[in-house]
Amino acid sequence: MFKDKNSSSAILENRKFRSILFHYFRLLSFVLIPLIIIFISVVFMLYNGSRKSEVESLLTRNFGHSSDVFSMICESFESDIISLSGNDDFITVASASAATADEKHNNGGWYEKALKRLRLLCAGNSLYDSISFYCENNGYIISWLTYEKLGEYYDSEFISENFEKPSFSCVRFDPFSGERIITVAKKVYCSGASGSNSLIGTAFFNLRYDYIAKMISNPSHSLKSLDVITAPDGSVLYSSHDELLGHELSSLDIFSEEELGALSYGIVSSLSSRDGIRMGYEAFNGFKLFSSVDSAEYSHIRGSLYWVVIVSVPLFMLLSLLLAVIISFNLYGYILKIIESFQNPISTDNAVPESRIIRPKLLSAVEQHQTIESEFASNLAKLRLAQTTALQMQINPHFLLNTLNIINLNIINELHGDSVSTELISLLSDILRSNLSTQEYLTDFSSEITLAQKYLQIETIRRRGQFRSEWTVDPRVENMTAVKFTLQPLLENCLRHGFFGFDQSDMLISVSAALEEREAVISISDNGRGISPERLDELRAILASGELPGASHIGLCNVNMRLRLIFGLSDCIGIESHPDKGTCVTLRIPAIPYDELSPAQRRSGLARKEDRYVQYDNR
């Protein structure tokens, strides 16, 4: 990118370049890291879903095999019960009375066929460990080896406790062999001569637990599934987890009530949830088979995903840094070379050809900027001087006001009362005091009118009553907002310009204030010499421009500029005049109640119509 290392090092040390580098690094990090996390998450979700489908398919095939074996087991002892209830030799022995059984107990030929029948059932089915039959009428036990009384039988205690139950199933250890067996007890009935069924006894089928486990489980797959067989009463007869045996399945919190209740006879039910995959099957005699695979079997990649994310984040941060360096060098490095060519104009032709066009315009802009900066510094110095002068002038009138008050008191002491001099000094002091109160630029018209009236009182005394004044003020105007010292300059213009060199016996100044819709309209007129049409057009043009003139009509233009700045209006003042008939100046400003302005607005003079206009209800 850069041929010499010194150039690259200089760029890296540039503060602006480091700022751009950090900007792009942060931007790329915020973009790339979330993208890779989203990508890994999507891949995980797709793999997880695929793995779940694979596990569910494998579990379905395995459960289909297990349910077939389970149905065959249930059908085996049910069909054998039917076989026993239909065998005459077995029925004869099982239904004999106690006296007959005792009499023929030693006659082996009498019960041999019944024993043989049980031996055939056991020998023909590897499912059975043994079969015992309790005879209801005589209390004897028929087994595949012997025919003897219940009390003499090796498993007499278990049979005595359970033969009276209508139907019974449990898992236990055989007292003879010590092996785990599943015992299923079923009542056996036979048809009598009258066609009704009569109870002949209870058959106890002892099923080999290991054989059932071998048949139910499928070693051809690697799924760690939980297989459970329950009796009709809900107790666990078989489980791939021995700790569940003998417990009620509903109390183990393995299968929910929804899953247990979803079973239908002869139909394989499947239910998938966040916790795993559940399958169930119910045989016709109430025995149920369940199989469950936990979600860990197909979501074991989750732990690996966390490590992938942890490792990927710093790697992608390094990648972001590398890309940020490349982008920053490509973007900002070229700019630095252009800047270098400006600083070393001798080498610009060889380094950056574009600088031939850019350099003159850029240098011209820099010179213009320096000129503006110099003018700004000069204007700032003038502004500071003006502020200093204003502060100095603010101090001097205070001294003047205090001096006037002392003079007024001395005159009163000498004359022992008021006089024209004291009245003039008092009026002048009030005007100066109001002028010195610069904390608020805005006031109400009541105060402004009072101040203007005091000014006319001074001029009346000074001119020895050569003019008179008339005041027509609508009381509603008195509470409207006014700008300080707007009336006094206009009244002064009447005296200085309107009546100057004008000989008339009845010189009159009329002041009126009224509300018109949403405006306060103030009119000040005189019957003096008026203004010529040419001068009137010139004066109107000056007012429209909003600028201060050189020497004439400064007071009128000052009032116009202040009203424009405070209220944001361009047509605050109107002038009508006719030679030898007088002049009328009209002020139109928004009718804003003074008491609705905040102290900050009064001090700052911000009462623009578009910002703080208050609608006046003309009632």
Asked whether the whole model's pTM tops 0.85, one would answer no
Residues 478 and 569 in one domain: yes
Residues 477 and 581 in one domain: yes
Residues 359 and 487 in one domain: no
Residue 249 contacts residue 228 (beta carbons within 8 Å): yes
The domain boundary, picked from 365, 384, 403, lies at 384
Look at the block and give the residue holding tokens 């004066």: 539
**Structure confidence at residue 515 (pLDDT):** 92
- SS3 call for 411: helix
Half-sphere exposure of 207 (CA within 13 A, CB side): 23
Residue 594, in any domain of the structure: yes
Residue 271 contacts residue 293 (beta carbons within 8 Å): no
Residues 605 and 485 in one domain: yes
**Structure confidence at residue 388 (pLDDT):** 56
**Structure confidence at residue 292 (pLDDT):** 78
Q: Taking the CB of residue 172, how many other CB atoms lie within 10 A of it?
A: 15
Calculate the alpha carbon distances from 572 to 408, 479, 496, 534, 559 in Å: 39, 19, 22, 21, 9
**Structure confidence at residue 477 (pLDDT):** 93
Residues 369 and 475 in one domain: no
Quote the radius of gyration of the chain (alpha carbons, Å): 58
Structure tokens at 168: 């019974």
- The rounded average pLDDT for each run of 10 residues, N- to C-terminus, in the chain (619 residues) is 52 70 79 77 73 72 79 84 86 88 78 86 86 91 86 89 86 89 90 71 91 75 75 86 82 67 55 67 79 66 63 78 78 66 56 62 78 77 57 54 68 70 76 68 89 88 86 93 89 87 82 92 92 89 75 77 81 90 93 86 59 38
Look at the block and give the residue holding tokens 């005699």: 285
Between CA 192 and CA 214 the distance in angstroms is: 41
Residues 478 and 606 in one domain: yes
Residues 468 and 378 in one domain: no
Whole domain around residue 360: which residue ranges? Answer: 352-384
Between CA 424 and CA 459 the distance in angstroms is: 10
Q: At residue 559, what is the residue type? A: V
Residue 475, in any domain of the structure: yes
Half-sphere exposure of 300 (CA within 13 A, CB side): 9
**Structure confidence at residue 588 (pLDDT):** 93
Residue 106, in any domain of the structure: no
Residue 99, in any domain of the structure: no
Residue 504, in any domain of the structure: yes
Q: Taking the CB of residue 491, how many other CB atoms lie within 10 A of it?
A: 22
The CA angle 71-74-78, to the nearest 5 degrees, is 130
Between CA 522 and CA 525 the distance in angstroms is: 10
Residue 128, in any domain of the structure: no
Between CA 2 and CA 56 the distance in angstroms is: 60
**Structure confidence at residue 78 (pLDDT):** 84
Question: For residue 276, which of 245, 298, 258, 307 has the smallest C-alpha distance?
Answer: 298
**Structure confidence at residue 221 (pLDDT):** 54
Q: How many domains does the chain have?
A: 2
Sequence-distant (6+) residues with CB within 8 A of 114 are: 87, 89, 90, 92, 93, 94, 142, 147
Between CA 445 and CA 435 the distance in angstroms is: 15
Calculate the alpha carbon distances from 153 to 134, 145, 395 in Å: 10, 11, 131
Look at the block and give the residue holding tokens 């247990």: 260
Rounded to a whole number of angstroms, the distance between the first and last alpha carbons of the chain is: 81
> Any idea what DSSP says for residue 441?
S
Half-sphere exposure of 312 (CA within 13 A, CB side): 16
Residues 572 and 476 in one domain: yes
Residue 184, in any domain of the structure: no
DSSP codes of every residue in 458-471: HHHHHTTTSEEEEE
Residues 604 and 468 in one domain: yes
**Structure confidence at residue 2 (pLDDT):** 44
Residues 484 and 376 in one domain: no
Between CA 43 and CA 152 the distance in angstroms is: 69
Between CA 101 and CA 148 the distance in angstroms is: 9
**Structure confidence at residue 606 (pLDDT):** 57
Residues 482 and 572 in one domain: yes
Residue 504: give its domain's CATH number: 3.30.565.10
Work out whether strand 467-473 and strand 507-516 pair parallel, antiparallel, or are unpaired.
Answer: parallel
Sequence-distant (6+) residues with CB within 8 A of 60 are: 268, 270, 279
Residue 545, in any domain of the structure: yes
